[in-house]
Structure 1
Amino acid sequence: MTDLTHESGNFIQQISLSSQLLAEEIDPNNQSAMEEITRLQWARKGLEHLLEDLRQFASPLKLEKDQCSVRSLWRQAWSDVTRTDEATNASLEDTTDVSDDTCHIDAFRLGQVFRNLFENSLAACGEKPRIKVYCRNGDGTLKIVIADNGPGLQPEARERLVEPFFTTKTKGTGLGMAIAKRIVEAHGGQIVAGRTATVGAEFLITLPRQTAEKAGAEGSSLVADPELRLRRRHCKSIWLSGPSRIWS
């Protein structure tokens, strides 16, 4: 997988450099040519995104744990995904019933999970996305519910939610939820789709309320992963068969 990532990265870099050179050579008043350059640049970005998703999915998961506020993570993730003009009408409402929302977690990895869920909601909700996050204590756990005002999950999507390479988006790798599941489970937690009484999708994340002392020494840990070889073979076959297999 390392060789595949390296070689593919080289090709993507060549595409990037060539498109930049073309953009400099073409008359900026040639609208049709400039539109083709823009399409080429977007295709490059799509390939970079696909390659990064494949790399994360097929790589060992190393956690850098520390005591961290979970609320601060989802607020930072929301800030990250709503910086674009497309998200100007989106709103976040978060509430918590806990006085201490810290857990012994990898802040970067858990931030990825929240970003993925928020991005999915923003893509599904239409013009005025409304996202709600609610946090409460469980039995030795912290439970975070994320709900939106979108169309909700269809039966097939609910059944195949964390299946690698399955997506309902017109453009996407179908790896976001699979990676999110890996990250949450690596923390000893769980992520499941809820069943809302009204419209919209809902997800429940459960994390163990484990302190640094109970977890042992702080710092990094490599998560045991018996399915790693299988995922690597799967990713390699997908990449070699062509990105169109995912984006079609």
Structure 2
Amino acid sequence: MSEPSTPTTRLKWRHSLIVRIVALCAVLVLCMLASVYFLTTRYYSQVITHMEQRADNITEQVRLTLEERLRLDEELSDMLDLQSLAEGTPIELDFNPIDPEPSAIQSQADDRGYYFMAEQVFELSNGALVMVQMELDFDPQTEVVRAFKNRYLMVITAIFLFTLSLMIYLIVNALRPLRDLSDSCARIAGGELQDVSVKTSAAEIVALEETFNSMVASLKEKEIVESNLRQAQRLSAIGNLAAGVAHDIRNPLNAIKLLSSHALDSLDTHPGTEVPAKQIRTIRNEVDRLENIVSGFLSLAKEEELHFEEAALDPILEECLNLVKQDAESRKIRLTHELRVGDTALMMDPQKMTRAVLNVLINALEICPEGGRVRLFSRIVDAACEIDIRDDGPGIPDEALERVFDPYFTTKTTGTGLGLSITRGIVEEHQGTIVITSSEGRGCQVLITLPLNQEKPTPDITTGIKH
């Protein structure tokens, strides 16, 4: 079955949240610059209007002064007329302005700066033209305008670019945790349950991270429960099938065993029947082996109630050693033990625990080569009791190690593959764990851990396998 592919979401750049925030910030900065430009232009326009008014007022004052002088000249002319009447010599010193308004008001700019030029032309009484020019320098008032147009404009542009770059950097850093969360969601959708860490970030992002990791933990627990449920359903289906097959096989086996026993008893009373008797004994032995296989099927299928009581572990282990001692001697395998639990009592079902340990010991003897060694240890570690069984066999390949507890799986040429599966069930019913450590060519270690002082044991699937 192929692994689910991890979905990837490709966002268009124009739909990205980063682009939208950056665009919004750019619009705000541009609005700020436009406001500065508008205010500066407004100020510039007001300065020009003010200077035009000043030029007009000064020209008006000059005109009034000249008109006042004209009246004085008229009086002087009258006096001169009187004098001429007296002396007989006429004198005229009269002049009139051509236009009461300034003839020209214009702005000019040269090396001296920026200024206004106001002109007024007058005609004297003798026909001569007189032009009065006034220069109004307003360079100090236009300093802001020139600065904005030249050096300050460059500074503002540089500040704008720096501010925009800084905003983009901060926005990208602020939104990076969201991208990490998005990638984690994609991995989870692909079946890879891993926590996410956004390190230092805003409080809202940290809260989102905690909620996200809590969701991942819940999914992991759900996955474990579903896996255990599938395993239980599988074992239940296999057990029901095995129970039906075993029940159908057991009856004819009993008949074969009974008839072979009667035939063997009859042959024993007649001389010269050693060969037929030997063959019948072989039949009985094979029938006994089939009965053991059928018993294993029934044990796997039937949910027997445990009978817990306080019992010492070491005597149970010594009994198991005595039961397999003869088999070990026949295989020329050394069987050693080191039991250190002593009289410490555990809450257990002695009969079921004996069967669990026997299954492991028998597997170790069957896999161990001639001249090898099988060792049994017991010890108390923290608040648990450990049963450690080691052999000098060829070990278990890595590809088979994870399946050793599956029903009907075996690496041997004989056997049903139910021993370790039954053992695991018994250990789990005692709230214990069973761990197999092995490497090919270097033997195998089976470590059973049972909790001390369990008053009300309940099944718990905590089996582990490690390389």
Q: Calculate the TM-score normalised by the size of structure 1.
A: 0.75
Tell which structure's C-alpha radius of gyration is larger. Answer: 2
Q: Select which of 348, 355, 359 maps to 1:112.
A: 355
Distance apart, 1:95 and its partner CA: 4.2
Q: Distance in 1 between matches of 2:451 and 2:288?
A: 36
Distance apart, 1:6 and its partner CA: 4.8
4+ runs deviating over 6 angstroms: none
Distance apart, 1:196 and its partner CA: 6.5
Do 2:393 and 2:441's aligned partners in 1 also have CA atoms closer than 8 Å? no
3-state DSSP of counterpart to 2:453: coil
AA in 2 matched with 1:12: L
Q: Distance in 1 between matches of 2:418 and 2:345?
A: 28
More helix by share: 2
> How do 1:51-130 and structure 2 match up within 5 A?
51-84=294-327, 86-87=330-331, 89-96=333-340, 101-130=344-373
Q: Select which of 264, 271, 281 maps to 1:23.
A: 264
Do 2:339 and 2:378's aligned partners in 1 also have CA atoms closer than 8 Å? yes
3-state DSSP of counterpart to 1:47: helix
Distance apart, 1:133 and its partner CA: 2.4
RCO (CA 8 Å, sep 6+): is it higher in 1 or 2?
1
Do 1:196 and 1:202's aligned partners in 2 also have CA atoms closer than 8 Å? no
Q: Distance in 1 between matches of 2:460 and 2:434?
A: 19
Q: Give the corresponding residue for 1:184.
A: 427
Q: Distance in 2 between matches of 1:144 and 1:24?
A: 45
How many residues are aligned here?
A: 217
Deviation larger for 5-14 or 66-75 = 5-14
CA spacing shift, 1:168–1:83, aligned 2, 3 Å: same
Q: Give the corresponding residue for 1:229.
A: none
1:169 paired with 2:412, answer yes
AA in 2 matched with 1:183: I
1:203 paired with 2:446, answer yes
1:9 paired with 2:253, answer no
Q: Give the corresponding residue for 2:396.
A: 153
Q: Distance in 2 between matches of 1:210 and 1:114?
A: 20
Distance apart, 1:192 and its partner CA: 1.3
Distance apart, 1:34 and its partner CA: 4.2
| Superposed CA offset, 1:169-223 (max 9, x none) | 22211101000000000000111102469821101111111244xx39xxxx9x6
3-state DSSP of counterpart to 2:409: coil
Q: Select which of 358, 375, 388 maps to 1:132.
A: 375
Structure 2 unaligned segments of length 5 or more: list them.
Answer: 1-239, 462-467
AA in 1 matched with 2:447: L
CA spacing shift, 1:110–1:129, aligned 2, 3 Å: farther
Q: Give the corresponding residue for 2:281.
A: 38
CA spacing shift, 1:83–1:164, aligned 2, 3 Å: same
AA in 2 matched with 1:160: R
Q: Calculate the TM-score normalised by the size of structure 2.
A: 0.42
Q: Distance in 2 between matches of 1:99 and 1:224?
A: 27
Distance apart, 1:20 and its partner CA: 2.5
Distance apart, 1:46 and its partner CA: 1.9
CA RMSD of aligned residues (A): 3.0
Q: Distance in 2 between matches of 1:197 and 1:36?
A: 40
CA spacing shift, 1:193–1:94, aligned 2, 3 Å: same
Q: Distance in 1 between matches of 2:266 and 2:385?
A: 56
AA in 2 matched with 1:145: D
AA in 2 matched with 1:149: D
Distance apart, 1:144 and its partner CA: 2.0
3-state DSSP of counterpart to 1:170: coil
CA spacing shift, 1:78–1:144, aligned 2, 3 Å: same
Distance apart, 1:161 and its partner CA: 0.6
